[in-house]
Amino acid sequence: MINKRYFLVGSFSLLISLFACNTEDELIEERLENNPAPNVELSGNPGSADFSKYVAVGNSLTAGLMDAALYTKGQQNAFPNILAQQFQIEGVGGGTFNQPDINSDNGLNVSVQSPDAVLGRFLLDLSIPGPVPTVGEPIEPYSGDISQLNNFGIPGMRVIDAVTPGYSQFNPFFARIAASSANSLVQQAAAAQGSFFTVWLGGNDVLAWANSGGSAPDGEIDPAAQLTNPSTLTNTNNFTAAYTAVINAMLAVPDAQGVAITIPPVTLLPFYRTVAFNPLPLDQATADALNAAYQQYNGGLDAAVTQQVITAEEAAQRKIAFSAGEGNPIVMIDEDLSEVTIIVNTDGDTNTLPKLRQTIANDLLLFSIAPRLGQDFGNGPYGLQDPATDEFVLTLNEQITANTRLATFNAIIAQIVASTGGRIALLDINPIFADIAGLTPEQATLLGMSADAISAADGTRGLILDGVNYQPDFSPNGIISTDGIHPNPKGHAIVANEVIRVINENFGASIPPVNLSPFSTVEVAP
């Protein structure tokens, strides 16, 4: 039997800022049909585009992975499937759109595992509030006709993976649809001969590294690491070559046109924003015991100041102190800290202090740290006596690295798209994120966002569409699924409308936008 609080347990309560949740009845009311059919009363025209064979290329966003699993409802509500329905509206000329159906209500959870059960997608447990896993199912081979597929979204795939022959050996989601074990994904997608296509790739080339807390290698420093560690931050030259190869392959189909989508600002996602930097409440006795335990470490820092090894300011930043009540930061290992070695006696013996500090407001605690906080893995409560390791915290320096690389990749995407002579239109997804996240223009500038995103940054959290204020989270009005990374059905519908807007503007089409109201946000646990 699965513990329904598996994902958010601990001997200390977690102060997870999951926004103001509505009641379960309100959530149920919001859930309508999962996969609404096209409105046959509408009509449109394709402009200069040919939608008779639409092909989608991408990663988990294209596949419809949400709630940490690839499952049937998620696939049905993936933005390519929503787009295909709009393309089938009278006059637009869209053809059939075949997806590699997973045929599973809950799928296989790619975020958490349990030794006792196969876990599936997350549901929102309002009593936490937070996500809890369902009972899942192993990944099975696709039972349909692989040669007829239109959706080539592969969860976990980087741009550099899309052009790798034999990639199916490393990714079970590609293995289940690969026409040949020697194929690359882009070979198979190009062979589908799409008259129109979307490409949304590049997220995993940054996200996988950020999800490692910046602990994985940087491909600029160690390019070879990309071959063995899929969490490596992709090398810029490799990214450019791979993305160019993907675009060229799709454009090899005579007269094919498409839309390329930029990489969203990953560090704005709820996966990095849900667990506060100071999530732990403590009683007086526990706070006193912890302060006593760190007295020697703090004393070593004082000695380092006296011996002029570090400044008093640096010592203050590294000291550990707890207090009774809520809002205690966790203790973490920060490899960016300077090495501090002090003399400990008159014989000249030395001691090197550990690189410890407590988290501060500009640190981002990954959502994956939530079930560990306060747990004893043999060294005392995690995040307190047992310092959190690098893979669970994204420091400011690591955020700068991730966002700088992401901005570079987006500039590369824009440059490649601009070189296609109008055959591909660019959808910059960042203005939507800047708006919904409530960024100021200054914050959007610091993140290296585009001019359009900076202009859309109004400093007010939420995105108002059709009179509804959508939020950048997995609350009842949120557009992100319960894994904190992938869009929910409502979010996918919003993405589909952005693609339609770009198609209409660039190819002279008049495709009606998607009606957002039938699409659900989150699903609650019973």
Q: Is 298 in the same domain as 357?
A: yes
Q: Is 317 in the same domain as 210?
A: no
Q: Which tokens go with 240?
A: 């450019």
Alpha helices in 277-395 (DSSP H): 284-293, 295-306, 312-318
Residue span of the structural domain in which 443 resides: 24-33+47-274+396-507
| Adjacent-strand bridge partners of 388 | 332
Q: Assign 3-state DSSP to the chain and report helix, strand, coil percentages, each to 5.
A: 35, 15, 50
DSSP letter at 92? Answer: T
What is the Cα–Cα distance from 146 to 100, expressed in whole angstroms?
Answer: 8
Whether 473 maps to a domain, the answer reads yes
Whether 103 maps to a domain, the answer reads yes
Closest CA to 492 of 461, 525, 518: 518
The tens digit of pLDDT for each residue in 293-324 reads 999 999 999 999 999 999 999 999 999 999 99
Whether 3 maps to a domain, the answer reads no
Domain count, the chain: 2
Whether 81 maps to a domain, the answer reads yes
**What is the reported pLDDT for 483?**
95
What is the Cα–Cα distance from 180 to 147, expressed in whole angstroms?
Answer: 11
CB 378 within 8 A of CB 419: no
Whether 140 maps to a domain, the answer reads yes
Q: What is the dihedral of CA 367, 368, 374, 376, to 10 degrees?
A: 180
**What is the reported pLDDT for 129?**
78
Closest CA to 436 of 261, 203, 268: 268
Whether 101 maps to a domain, the answer reads yes
Q: Is 414 in the same domain as 473?
A: yes
Whether 17 maps to a domain, the answer reads no
Q: Which residues contact 87 (CB under 8 A, 6 or more apart)?
A: 51, 54, 93, 94, 95, 97, 196, 511
For residues 251-272, b (16+ Cβ closer than 10 Å) or e, as one string?
bebeebbbbbbbbbbbbbbbbb
What is the Cα–Cα distance from 510 to 282, expressed in whole angstroms?
Answer: 59
**What is the reported pLDDT for 31?**
39
What is the Cα–Cα distance from 383 to 332, expressed in whole angstroms?
Answer: 7
Q: Is 351 in the same domain as 426?
A: no
- CATH no. for residue 227? 3.40.50.1110
Q: Is 308 in the same domain as 453?
A: no
CB 186 within 8 A of CB 194: no
Q: Which tokens go with 158?
A: 């980087």
The pTM is what? Answer: 0.91
Q: Is 380 in the same domain as 411?
A: no
**What is the reported pLDDT for 30?**
43
Closest CA to 255 of 345, 300, 321, 194: 194
Q: Is 212 in the same domain as 246?
A: yes
Q: Is 134 in the same domain as 222?
A: yes
What is the Cα–Cα distance from 126 to 3, expressed in whole angstroms?
Answer: 15
Q: Which tokens go with 37?
A: 């059919």
Q: Is 434 in the same domain as 355?
A: no
Tell me how many degrees the CA angle 170-176-181 measures, rounded to the nearest 5: 55
HSE-CB at 514 with a 13 A cutoff on CA atoms is 32
**What is the reported pLDDT for 20?**
40
Q: Is 460 in the same domain as 326?
A: no
Regions of the chain with pLDDT less than 50 = 1-40
The tens digit of pLDDT for each residue in 39-85 reads 447 899 999 999 999 999 999 999 999 999 999 999 999 999 999 99
DSSP letter at 487? Answer: B
**What is the reported pLDDT for 476?**
85
Whether 9 maps to a domain, the answer reads no
Domain end position, chosen among 393, 427, 443:
393
The tens digit of pLDDT for each residue in 91-149 reads 999 999 999 999 999 999 999 888 889 999 999 988 877 899 999 999 999 999 999 99
**What is the reported pLDDT for 115?**
86
Q: Is 148 in the same domain as 259?
A: yes
DSSP letter at 369? Answer: G
CB 206 within 8 A of CB 269: no
What is the Cα–Cα distance from 65 to 250, expressed in whole angstroms?
Answer: 23
Is the backbone peptide bond immediately before 387 cis, with ω within 30 degrees of 0?
no
Q: Is 136 in the same domain as 260?
A: yes
